[in-house]
């Protein structure tokens, strides 16, 4: 962590789905017309090692999604002061992140609590101060030292500034909260023992701004839901 940045301690983690057209296409979806939003529970966050749960339905496909994370520098939304003329100034820092997604459970359940909210479904690396130009960033992901994802913020369907203005109109977020901004094409399945490295940099050559390294391990066997007794009054 950069010394002049507060520790990462979000109250909420908001995520944007299908923010790169090529990623939407690789999943067989049309590009959305407005930001597709969902929550990552705070309890999904881990550091360094991510357990992959084993569900009672049997083996499922669990994918990595490398992302750029934004950390807010101020409260956002109804009841808060107007955004600055440049909405990008509402961001404190950026970080590399991983959104872990169970594709089979996404198809089974319209609410993604299990598919994207299990313990280990999110990791966020150390912060880097907000760069000057949010449209000149790049994201790269390596799985077991193989380069699997490369995207640039110039490709975003919903650029950062526009996204912040949109969220400010209806959603209450707080200083320190995290926004995961979507993943480029190249997502793929994970297995215990896999290593992932996500790097946020700038289009121009130079040192990376932020990075994250995660190792995935076999997680717990999740027991199926069972009713212990008849509900009261039945």
- What's the N-to-C CA distance of the chain in angstroms? 56
Alpha-carbon torsion 209, 1, 164, 33, what sign? Answer: positive
Superfamily (CATH) of domain 13-221: Fumarylacetoacetase-like, C-terminal domain (3.90.850.10)
What secondary structure does DSSP assign to 131-188, as a single string?
PS-TTSEEEEEEETTEEEEEEEGGGBSS-HHHHHHHHHTT--B-TT-EEE----S--E
113, 43 contact by CB (below 8 A): no
Share of the chain above pLDDT 70, in %: 97
pLDDT tens-digit series, residues 37-59: 999 999 999 999 999 999 999 99
pLDDT tens-digit series, residues 125-175: 999 999 999 999 999 999 999 999 999 999 999 999 999 999 999 999 999
Q: How far apart are CA 29 and CA 24, in angstroms?
A: 5
pLDDT band per the 50, 70, 90 thresholds, residue 229:
confident
pLDDT at residue number 234: 52
Q: How far apart are CA 2 and CA 6, in angstroms?
A: 8
pLDDT tens-digit series, residues 94-136: 999 999 999 999 999 999 999 999 999 999 999 999 999 999 9
Q: Which ranges in the chain belong to alpha helices (H)?
A: 21-26, 103-108, 113-117, 160-168
Share of the chain above pLDDT 90, in %: 88
Residue 221 has pLDDT above 50, yes or no: yes
**Closest CA relative to residue 183, chosen from 53, 118, 96:** 96
Residue 177 has pLDDT above 60, yes or no: yes
pTM greater than 0.85 (yes/no)? yes
pLDDT tens-digit series, residues 74-90: 999 999 999 999 999 99
Q: How far apart are CA 89 and CA 185, in angstroms?
A: 28
Q: How far apart are CA 33 and CA 48, in angstroms?
A: 35
Tokens of 197: 């490295």
Q: How far apart are CA 23 and CA 36, in angstroms?
A: 13
Q: How far apart are CA 162 and CA 44, in angstroms?
A: 27
pLDDT band per the 50, 70, 90 thresholds, residue 1:
very low
């Amino acid at each position: 962590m950069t010394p002049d940045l507060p520790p990462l301690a979000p109250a909420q983690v908001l995520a944007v789905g299908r923010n790169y057209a090529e990623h939407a296409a690789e999943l067989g979806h049309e590009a959305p017309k407005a930001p597709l939003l969902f929550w990552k529970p705070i309890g999904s966050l881990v550091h360094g090692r991510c357990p992959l749960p084993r569900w009672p339905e049997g083996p499922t496909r669990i994918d990595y999604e490398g992302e750029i994370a934004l950390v807010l520098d101020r409260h956002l939304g109804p009841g808060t002061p107007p955004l600055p003329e440049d909405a990008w100034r509402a961001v404190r820092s950026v970080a590399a992140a991983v959104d872990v997604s169970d594709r089979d459970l996404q198809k089974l359940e319209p609410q993604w609590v299990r598919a994207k909210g299990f313990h280990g479904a999110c990791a966020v690396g150390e912060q880097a101060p907000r760069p000057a130009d949010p449209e000149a960033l790049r994201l790269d992901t390596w799985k077991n030292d193989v380069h699997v994802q490369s995207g640039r913020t110039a490709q975003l369907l919903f650029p950062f500034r526009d996204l912040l203005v949109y969220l400010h109109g209806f959603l209450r977020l707080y200083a320190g909260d995290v926004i995961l901004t979507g993943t480029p094409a190249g997502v793929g399945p994970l297995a215990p023992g896999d290593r992932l490295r996500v790097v946020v940099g700038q289009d121009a050559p130079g040192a990376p701004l932020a990075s994250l390294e995660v190792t995935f391990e076999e997680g717990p066997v999740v027991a199926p839901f069972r009713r212990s007794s008849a509900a009261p009054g039945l």
